[in-house]
């Protein structure tokens, strides 16, 4: 299972490394000590924490999100032909349907770092009522 440094975990969660260290210190995120004494965070545990902590985007958002979402795989549901992959990228939950073969080749599982690239010919953008 992949592991991440405190800095990598902070980047994935959209917070500072100090915030991640505080969460580790109070037991919100499980961590272990690596070979050099540095803390490492288990990818699956980080994915669970990220999904639990996710919030809906702010209702007063005024900009569109970029089309590349780097995050942690939180869930993979496979059937005989297709796979549904859920990625938690900061506060954004991205869901994609891909072939099972592709999911297997990419070895997608909770805790794996992945990038969702969104491409569409029709993109709707709204400004919420102020």
Domains of the chain: 3-53 (1.10.1660.10), 68-117 (2.40.50.100)
Give the pLDDT band of residue 126 (cuts 50, 70, 90): low
Q: Is the dihedral of CA 33, 38, 43, 46 positive or negative?
A: positive
**Would the pLDDT of 75 be above 50?**
yes
Give the pLDDT band of residue 65 (cuts 50, 70, 90): very low
3-state secondary structure at position 59: coil
Give the pLDDT band of residue 67 (cuts 50, 70, 90): confident
CA 83 – CA 73 distance, rounded (Å)? 13
Q: What is the pTM of this model?
A: 0.57
- Look up residue 18 and give its two tokens: 């100090």
| Distance set, CA 110 to CA 3, 26, 52 (Å) | 12, 24, 13
pLDDT attached to residue 59: 43
**Would the pLDDT of 121 be above 70?**
no
The enclosing H or E element of 48 equals: helix 43-53
């Amino acid at each position: 299972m992949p592991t991440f440094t405190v800095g990598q975990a902070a980047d994935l969660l959209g917070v500072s490394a100090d915030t991640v260290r505080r969460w580790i210190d109070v037991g919100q995120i499980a961590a272990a000590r690596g070979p050099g004494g540095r803390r490492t965070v288990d990818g699956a545990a980080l994915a669970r924490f990220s999904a639990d902590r996710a919030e809906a985007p702010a209702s007063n958002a005024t900009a569109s999100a970029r089309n590349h979402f780097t995050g942690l795989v939180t869930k993979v549901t496979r059937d005989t032909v297709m796979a549904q992959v859920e990625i938690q990228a900061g506060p954004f939950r991205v869901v994609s349907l891909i072939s099972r073969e592709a999911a297997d080749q990419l070895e997608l599982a909770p805790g794996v770092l992945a990038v969702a690239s969104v491409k569409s010919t029709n993109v709707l953008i709204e400004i919420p009522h102020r």
